[in-house]
Amino acid sequence: MIETTFIIPILERLDRIESIVTDRASKHDPLMTLKDVSNYARVCEATIRRAIHKGTIKPFKSTGKKLFRREDVDTWLQL
| Residue closest to 77 by CA, chosen among 64, 68, 61 | 68
Amino acid (one-letter) located at 23: D
pTM over 0.85: no
pLDDT tens series, the chain, 79 aa: 556 566 678 888 888 888 777 666 555 667 899 999 999 999 999 999 999 999 999 998 767 889 998 889 999 999 8
How far apart, in whole angstroms, are the C-alpha atoms of residue 61 and residue 68? Answer: 7
- 31-78 belongs to which CATH class? mainly alpha
How far apart, in whole angstroms, are the C-alpha atoms of residue 28 and residue 22? Answer: 10
The one-character DSSP state at 79 is -
